[in-house]
Amino acid sequence: MIDSIVFDLDGTLYLGEKVVEGAIETIAALEAEGYRIFYLTNNSGKMRKQIVDKLNNLGFPAHSGNTYCIARGISHYLVEEEIGPIYLIGTNDLRRELMSNEIVIKEDPGVSAVVVGIDPAFSYQKIAMALDAIDGGAKLIVANGDSSYPIENNRRLPGCGALVAAIVNATGHAPDVHVGKPNTYMLELLCREHGLSPERICVVGDMPESDIRMANNFNCQSILFDPGGNFSDFSNMKARALNEIISLLKKGR
């Protein structure tokens, strides 16, 4: 029986700096019904603490235990698999979180893995370093394959997947590990750390290709949050408003 709800963040609980209508109330109501709440994001540019702080500032009862992000996932993966030193393509925030987990980051190609997250300082030189490292036998560990993400005024910015595409093209080497959605690594970690299993989990998110695909890959339930009604052909449980989630879950019980 489902007792744990895993929420996507950007596009589901908030949009940029704005809380999505009904998000705080829905989470409070779910907690009052006894559901455990988790926060899970493909954001690879921020430290876990920054994501928790943002959620708290917006009014969500998040804490470091129930919040999963790429920095947390990659840190855990590298420590668990004893991979290092690494060459990092990513933000300074991701770098700080990895270093706080005692992962050794080097600025030369003599590493056992190249780790790629979103990086506004991505450059030709970084592709060249990744190529050297991977030609020398390093693994390629990437945050996610997200091609772009929406910003204001109907514009988009390149996502981690665009940076990964350059490295894959140059090296001819596909990623060895995708830590983020739609892969299930972060959900597996969540289950291990909280004693959960797929049949107890429902994922709520706005992206069929990442949130719902991850849930399907994990064989757990999911609800597509589709406020715009853009996915009418999509044969999944769907909510046009977040406050529909409780009744959908009760029906599912």
**C-alpha dist (Å) from residue 8 to 48, 129, 137, 142:** 14, 33, 35, 19
d(CA 29, CA 246): 8
Residues catalogued as catalytic: 8, 10
The answer to whether 105 touches 87, Cβ cutoff 8 Å, is: yes
Question: Considering only CA atoms, which of 214, 225, 230, 191 is closest in space to residue 41?
Answer: 214
The answer to whether 214 touches 187, Cβ cutoff 8 Å, is: yes
If the CB atoms of residues 106 and 200 are measured against a copy of itself, the closer one turns out to be 106
d(CA 190, CA 162): 27
Does 3 carry a binding-site annotation?
no
d(CA 126, CA 116): 10
- Cis amide leading into 120 (omega within 30): no
Residue 222 CB, nearest approach to a copy of itself (Å): 24
Does 8 carry a binding-site annotation?
yes
Plot region of 49 (φ>0 → left; ψ -120 to 50 → alpha; else → beta): alpha
If the CB atoms of residues 148 and 197 are measured against a copy of itself, the closer one turns out to be 148
Q: Which residues bind a copy of itself (CB under 8 A)?
A: 119-125, 127-128, 131-132, 135, 147-148, 155-159, 161-172
If the CB atoms of residues 156 and 240 are measured against a copy of itself, the closer one turns out to be 156
Residue 155 CB, nearest approach to a copy of itself (Å): 6
Question: Considering only CA atoms, which of 227, 216, 221 is closest in space to residue 252?
Answer: 221
If the CB atoms of residues 118 and 239 are measured against a copy of itself, the closer one turns out to be 118
Residue 145 CB, nearest approach to a copy of itself (Å): 8
- Binding-site positions for Mg(2+) read 8, 10, 206
Q: Residues within the annotated binding site?
A: 8, 10, 181, 206
